[in-house]
A and B are shown apart, each in its own frame.
Chain A
Amino acid sequence: MTPVTTSTPAKSALSRNWLLLLLKARTFVALILVLAYFSFAAPNFLTPENAVLVTKHVAINAFLAIGMTFVIITGGIDLSVGAIVGLCGMAAGWLLSYGIDIGLGWTIQFNTLEIILIACLLGIFIGAVNGVLITRLNVAPFIATLGMLYVARGAALLSSGGRTFPNLNGNATFGSETFPLVGAGSFFGIPIMIWMLVGAALLAAYIAGRTPLGRHIYATGGNERGALLSGVNVNRIKMFVYMFSGLMAALVGIIIASQLKASHPATGEFFELNAIAAAVLGGTSMSGGRGRIGGTIIGAFVIGILADGLVMMGVSSFWQMVIKGLVIITAVVIDQAQSRLQARVALTQETAGGS
């Protein structure tokens, strides 16, 4: 995100660099614009209570978008995240309601931490299946995860026969009474789920920027063959990103089940589309190799604030959809313009300063 500064005295180059900086920070600019607009247009928008509420809405999408960003950077796509949300929510609901019947007249009951762990492992496992399909069986990511979308959603519906697991209040005897706190509890006045988001975002940003794993993720998406010949274990990288995406989806499933104290098998429908939108809005390139966690978070906020603000202003939900779509398309158009400009700036720099 560092602005490109050159010592070129030419005025046109200077203004071009300003334009480039503006374009680079476009999602941030958009965020400020929507914030400013709604604070002005919608009463109560800027209150702390509302800020927390909006952030909680945003967080759901942001988790998924973080996982999606890694997947998209490798040049793939994960359409199954919404269904994983539903399935992992159902798994958590099942464990809370019934435990596991091991068939000897006994049932194993779990405490909150174990339930969270099992649901997360389920999400990671589904991600791993996606990864195996894509790396070992050469199924295109779009198709593999589309198939997984149906399988996971179907499994979620099967788990309860389509019904909801209600009253997930937990049971103090088993140590699961703290389950509702995941989505509803607070810590230092800030909801636990937002702390979790901060943790996930920092972890993802660290992986992306400061580990070989992150570098390999970018390399895989930038040029898979080139990465392979440079010694990057492309298959392992892909396995990781789909498993990470599955984990993020599982967390969302747990959070929603905890918030509502109920798990419904249809939870998470179309969440994958919002996650993709947030990632793209944040500057992630669908052709791979480019994207940032920070950008994705801002993208998720733009989408979330737009949605909540429009609701508060009483705009019809039909118009909301139209506006959201237009914002996404505009973002990508600007993104293209930016990459072209950036390439030109770098080229002039190299021709001026290099040879």
Chain B
Amino acid sequence: MNAEPHPVGLTIRGAVKVYPGTRALSSVDFDIRMGAVNVLVGENGAGKSTLMKVIAGVETLTLGQIEIDGQPVTIRTKEDAVANGIGIVFQELNLFPEMTVSENVFMGSEPTRYGVDVDTRRVAEETRKLMKRLEQDIEPDTRLGYLRIGQQQVVEIAKALVENARFLILDEPTSALSASEVEVLFRIIEELKSQGVGIVYISHRLEELIRVGDYITVLRDGKVTGSRPMKGVDIPWIVEAMIGGKSKDFSKNLGHSFGAEIFRAENICLPKLGGGLTVDNVSLSLRAGEILGLYGLMGAGRTEFLECLMAQQPASTGRFYIDGKEIRERQVAGRIARGIALVPEDRKRDGLIQIMAIRENLTLSSLAQFTRLFHLSLRQEAARATDFIKRLTIKVASAENPVSSLSGGNQQKVVIGKALMTEPKVLLMDEPSRGIDIGAKAEIYRTMRLLAADGIGIVFVTSDLEEVLALSDRIIVMADGHITGEFGRGAPAAEVIAAATPAKNKDKAA
């Protein structure tokens, strides 16, 4: 273990993080080696982000300990993290679009003159230097909102560099970058490595990981399933460690046959801000009783496609058909009436009214069923809610408690129940198993199977490879807004991954 070229700078031992209802990390050991790129990989919900949030002081560990240079440290706040030399670039940008680039870069660490006012000249100068180092032609006085997403990502990296981070965490740094920007980023990483900075690199793009990484750690369901130097690692090894030999409890196909075509989308396009298309001529069709998996990486346009279908993107073009009849309704209620129901990706933000009761959430989309003229029958409503709570085995003490008191898995069941109560023909599920524990996942899979057997067509979006392989009757892979592959049952994992990560091409640089 000694005389290694890359000394260990930060170690985490026995990290456990418990959220209400889920165990995000269970006794994870992780090292950050200095002057090297430490790759962290795993599927969504595997615990990567939680681990990084713990290091960055956004979350605190339930159990376990963090040591820097052999000394135990407690990182409770972001300030603690900065004081310990930890810089992090989150996948979601934490920037202020109304402020200038230099103001953003020095946010929270503004140099002052005599401790009074901000030394704007120095700020601008330093920012210019940083941008030069990052090989970006960005003026410090530009308003951040005017920059492309890729450039904003560079600003975010610059922000971490200002704080002289010894440990730099990059969470999916390339997801919004163009090919040339990725090259620049890799050069920056090389330079930082030579300065002895310990880099943690999180990404879904496996080729990229193998190219840039020195050490790799694979997480699955909150546990480390593989940790070794990058030498000799290939994609099959990573996939194996990510997915594992044994499968999660996916319920078996019930062996029913599909019905006629129930839903069809033709040439759906959605323009992107600043040119290009977020959803690029997507056409697909779905048969009754079929489970269609829509796989792809973040930003592939899958969620946006569902939003077009749910009338959330007024700028979209193209046609949708249900049972051969075109959908012309412009309101969500109209689309629900036509037999479309959505289980949104972000439960908290889009799926539930947190402060309302479980019963009220379940029935929100189908109140018309209990209404005569304008009078709402609370008795019928309660009966129907109780019925769905039983059918979906939602564990509740009382249907009158606020939905926020439930665990993630049960909340998700409430969202599904709400969608099902509208008696849909086509059920759209965006990341239906995100952020819920394994037991609840298995129940949701089982529910999906049963619904399909009842003749409902299901389109589900997922970034979980294992899930899409095991659950789908058919898989459609999307990347950069268009369909890049279509597979039947039992498709090889490597091919699906390959379709989801096409080589970075020039049109991304638009």
- Chain A interface (Cβ < 8 Å from any Cβ of B): 2, 210-216, 218-219, 222-223, 225-233, 289-290, 343, 346-347, 349-350, 352-355
Q: Which of A214, A226, A350, A353 contacts B353 (CB 8 A)?
A: A226
* Inter-chain contact A350/B396, CB cutoff 8 Å: yes
Given contacts A211-B374, A215-B360, A229-B312, contact A350 B367 (CB under 8 A): no
Q: Please judge, given known A-B contacts A219-B353, A225-B349, whether A355 and B395 are in contact too, CB under 8 Å.
A: yes
Task: Check A210 against B396 for contact (C-beta < 8 Å).
Answer: no
Cα A76 to Cα B446 in complex, Å, equals: 42
Please tell me if B8 contacts chain A, counting CB pairs below 8 Å.
no
Tell me, in angstroms, the Cα distance from A229 to B340 when the chains sit together: 11
B342 in the interface (beta carbon within 8 A): yes
- Closest chain B residue to A344, Cβ basis: B405
Q: How far is the CB of B438 from chain A (nearest CB, A)?
A: 13
How many pairs, one residue from A and one from B, have CB atoms within 8 Å of each other in the complex? 108
Number of B interface residues at 8 Å Cβ cutoff, please give it: 43
Contacts of A219 in B (CB 8 A): 353, 356, 360, 364
For residue B481, give the distance in angstroms from its CB to the closest CB of chain A.
22
Contact partner of A225 among B342, B350, B418, CB < 8 A? Answer: B350
Q: Is the CB of A289 within 8 A of B353?
A: yes
- Minimum distance in angstroms from A176 CB to a CB of chain B: 33
10 new A-B pairs (CB below 8 Å) besides A222-B355, A289-B356?
Answer: A210-B375, A215-B376, A225-B350, A228-B312, A230-B418, A346-B402, A346-B404, A347-B405, A350-B397, A354-B397
User: Of A211, A218, A346, A353, which is within 8 A of B356 by CB?
Assistant: A218
Q: Decide yes or no whether B144 CB sits under 8 A from chain A.
A: no
Nearest CB in chain B: distance from A209 CB, A:
8
B374 touches A229 (CB 8 A): no
A21: min CB distance to chain B, Å: 15
Query: Which chain B residues border A346 with CB–CB below 8 Å?
Result: 401-402, 404-405
- CB contacts (< 8 Å) of B20 on chain A: these are 347
Chain B residues lying within 8 Å of A211, measured Cβ to Cβ, are: 371, 374-376
Q: Answer whether residue B398 sits at the interface, using C-beta atoms and an 8 A cutoff.
A: yes
Most buried by A among B352, B367, B406, B422: B367
Complex: chain B residue closest to A349, CB-CB: B397
Please report B residues at the A interface, Cβ cutoff 8 Å.
Answer: 20-21, 310, 312, 331-333, 335-336, 342, 344, 349-356, 360, 364-365, 367-368, 371, 374-376, 378, 395-398, 400-402, 404-407, 410, 418, 422
- Complex contact B353–A222 (CB within 8 A): yes
Is A229's CB under 8 angstroms from B342's CB?
Answer: yes
Q: 5 closest pairs, A vs B, by CB?
A: A353-B397, A222-B353, A231-B333, A346-B405, A212-B367
Q: List 8 A-B contacts (CB under 8 A).
A: A228-B312, A230-B365, A231-B336, A231-B422, A343-B402, A343-B405, A347-B20, A349-B398
Distance of B165 from chain A, by nearest CB (Å): 35
Please indicate the chain B residues that have their CB under 8 angstroms from the CB of A216 in the complex.
367
Interface of A is mostly: helix
Measured between alpha carbons, how far is A41 from B405 in the docked complex, in Å?
45
CB pair B407–A223 under 8 Å, yes or no, is: no
Residues of A near B349 (CB, < 8 A) are: 223, 225-226
Would A212 and B371 be within 8 Å (CB), given that A226-B352, A230-B418 are in contact?
yes
Chain A nearest CB from B188 CB (Å) reads 37
Q: State the CA gap A334–B61 with chains docked (Å).
A: 32
Q: Which residue of B lies closest to A234 (CB)?
A: B332
Q: Is the CB of A349 within 8 A of B355?
A: no
Nearest neighbor of B21 in chain A, beta-carbon distance: A355
Do the beta carbons of B333 and A223 come within 8 Å of each other?
no
Interface centre among B335, B344, B374, B400 (most CB of A within 10 A): B374
Assuming the A-B contacts A289-B355, A354-B410, are A227 and B364 also in contact, with contact meaning beta carbons closer than 8 angstroms in the complex? Answer: yes
Minimum CB distance partner of A223 in chain B: B353
Q: A222 to chain B: which residues have CB within 8 Å?
A: 353-356
Q: Which residue of B lies closest to A219 (CB)?
A: B353
Assess whether B364 is in contact with A223, with CB atoms less than 8 Å apart: no
Which chain B residues lie closer than 8 Å to A218 at the CB level?
353, 356, 360
Contacts of B398 in A (CB 8 A): 349, 353
B443 to chain A, nearest CB (A): 12
Of A212, A228, A347, A353, most B-chain CB atoms within 10 Å: A212
Please name the residue on chain B nearest to A235 by beta carbon: B331
Across-interface contacts of A343 in B (CB, < 8 A): 402, 404-405
Which of A2, A214, A215 gathers most chain B CB within 10 Å?
A: A215
CB pair B376–A350 under 8 Å, yes or no, is: no
Kindly list chain B residues whose C-beta atoms are within 8 Å of the C-beta of A354.
395-397, 406-407, 410
